[in-house]
Chains A and B, each alone.
Chain A
Amino acid sequence: MKKPLSLLFIVIIISSFLTSCGQSLSRYSVTYTDVFDTVTNITAYAKSQTEFDKAATAAHNELLRLHKLYDIYNEYDGIINLATLNRLCGASEQKVDKDIEYLLKTGLSYAEKTDGKLNIAAGALTGLWHDCIKNGGGLPSDEELYEAKKHISYKSVRLENGALFFEDPDIKLDVGAIAKGYAADRAASVLVSNGINDFLINAGGNVVPHGKKPDGEWKIGIQDPDKPGGQYRFKMAVSDRSVVTSGSYERFFTYGGKTYSHIIDTDTLYPADRYVSVTVLCVDSADGDALSTALFCMSVQDGKALLKEKGADALWIYADGGYEKTDGFKIDE
């Protein structure tokens, strides 16, 4: 009688030990380099590597799908993406995918709100600078810039009942300023629907936190513009709001000893240089992405008014090392 009891005892102890091992969550991480021309990292707590891989792969597939949909440089078989629409919508009206419609509507509403500071119809202008960055050649000439300026009015973009048409045939859409934020939000939904609740997505400066770490809140480091790579100017804990940074030190190009950011001010027609970086805290990462780009080209005062409207907060870092922030932007130290 005693032996079976002891055995039972052993079995119960060991099985409870194994069960607790199986249910405790471990940390997993993966990095993707093939979406939105940036580095995307997913860190999550999951029951097993298999569970994490399944969820992360699903999220990656969603990112790839949106990457192709919002790509303005390449067309793909079987889908009508922005590159296709840029080619066709100057001549005839085209039906658009729901995810394109949503993103364009968001972009156009921000264009209205910011008086074109955030302009998704500025592809003719951003394309000129993009070629400069890509080819490492000289800057665009004034003639080229003024010619481009004639064809960047977001008011020429007509989007009604899921159909898109450009009233100016030379309009080119460029959603680079808002696509990553929206895609990061979507990837987050995919992780949740795959049973992952504690994770952090960082899609090239668009950070979407969800849930918590076993030992507390997610920690974000805002890089020191003078010392990129592992050294942080500020650190902050985040839980329920996305963090989006637009920074000139992350994507830039150098010409004639001067560094230019990748964000083009549609008023000066040149890369914006008011700040080194602007970081926005916002519930929605798509909004955060739009706001950080718009704020990058605005005065702090104008930026604050826009933030208030959206219930968002921001941190501006100047080239001389100084900074400004709204009261709701909490940083450590």
Chain B
Amino acid sequence: MPTEAMRKPTGSRSMNRTAVSDLILVSAVVIIALVLLVVFSINRADGSVFEITVNGKVYGTYDLNKDTEIDVYGLCVVCVKDGEVFMKSSTCKGKDCVHSKPISKSGQTIICLPNGVVIRVPGESEVDAAI
């Protein structure tokens, strides 16, 4: 049977070498895996950026820690201050978006329904849907 043939012992010297090189190989793979894991988890860390979309299309992604004002097609002005983002002004009638509290945590959104503008901090929040 082929498996028997494969299990045929080789010389003790070559076996040691194999063991050492395998050990190096396994360590290398484990290290690479750990590095990749860290890179992935850093990429997934939320709360440092936010995204603005208009009618479903991404307008831009911005840093939450950089104070700035963003004019979105003249529809509204999004303001970033002290690590929070809020709607400073909007051309819509109800102004619900302007009255929304500033957001900074993963999964939080501010939405201007009439203008189709959504400000979102990516990621998962404590609930998956708010009703």
Identify the A interface with B (CB < 8 A): 2, 6, 9-10, 13-14, 17, 27, 29-34, 37-39, 41, 43, 60, 136, 200, 202, 205, 207, 213, 218-223, 229-230, 232, 235, 243-245, 247, 279
Looking at A31, A43, A230, which has the most chain B CB atoms within 10 Å of its CB? A230
A202–B129 contact, CB under 8 A?
A: yes
Tell me the minimal C-beta distance from B43 to chain A in angstroms: 11
Nearest A-chain residue to B130, judged by Cβ? A221
A220–B127 contact, CB under 8 A?
A: yes
Q: Knowing A10-B25, A223-B131, A245-B131 touch, does A38 contact B108 (C-beta < 8 A)?
A: no
- Whether a CB of chain A sits under 8 angstroms from the CB of B45 is no
Identify the B interface with A (CB < 8 A): 14, 17-18, 21-22, 25, 29, 33, 36, 53, 55-56, 93, 100-101, 103, 108-109, 111-113, 116-118, 120, 122, 124, 126-131
Q: Knowing A31-B53, A38-B113 touch, does A2 contact B130 (C-beta < 8 A)?
A: no
Tell me the minimal C-beta distance from B86 to chain A in angstroms: 11
Classify the interface of chain A: helix, strand, loop or mixed: strand
B130–A223 contact, CB under 8 A?
A: yes
Which chain B residues border A207 with CB–CB below 8 Å?
A: 129, 131
Q: Which of A17, A34, A37, A200 contacts B55 (CB 8 A)?
A: A34
Classify the interface of chain B: helix, strand, loop or mixed: mixed
Q: Which of A2, A17, A245 contacts B17 (CB 8 A)?
A: A2
Q: Knowing A17-B33, A31-B53, A31-B118 touch, does A232 contact B25 (C-beta < 8 A)?
A: no
Which chain B residues border A232 with CB–CB below 8 Å?
A: 127, 130
Which chain B residues border A6 with CB–CB below 8 Å?
A: 21-22, 25
Tell me the minimal C-beta distance from B113 to chain A in angstroms: 5
Tell me the minimal C-beta distance from A222 to chain B in angstroms: 6
Nearest B-chain residue to A253, judged by Cβ? B94
B113–A41 contact, CB under 8 A?
A: no
A229–B100 contact, CB under 8 A?
A: yes
Bound state CA distance, A205 and B128, in angstroms?
12
Which chain A residues border B117 with CB–CB below 8 Å?
A: 33
Which chain A residues border B124 with CB–CB below 8 Å?
A: 27
Bound state CA distance, A232 and B55, in angstroms?
28
Tell me the minimal C-beta distance from B121 to chain A in angstroms: 11
Q: Knowing A6-B22, A9-B25, A10-B25 touch, does A33 contact B113 (C-beta < 8 A)?
A: yes
6 pairs of A and B residues whose beta carbons are closest in the complex: A221-B127, A202-B129, A245-B131, A33-B116, A219-B127, A31-B118
A221–B113 contact, CB under 8 A?
A: no
What are 9 A-B contacts with C-beta separation under 8 Å?
A6-B21, A33-B56, A33-B112, A202-B131, A207-B129, A219-B126, A232-B130, A243-B129, A244-B131
Nearest A-chain residue to B120, judged by Cβ? A31
Which chain A residues border B100 with CB–CB below 8 Å?
A: 229
Which chain B residues border A229 with CB–CB below 8 Å?
A: 100-101
Bound state CA distance, A31 and B103, in angstroms?
16
Bound state CA distance, A65 and B127, in angstroms?
29
Q: Which of B22, B36, B111 contacts A9 (CB 8 A)?
A: B22
Which chain B residues border A2 with CB–CB below 8 Å?
A: 14, 17-18, 21
Which chain B residues border A39 with CB–CB below 8 Å?
A: 111, 113
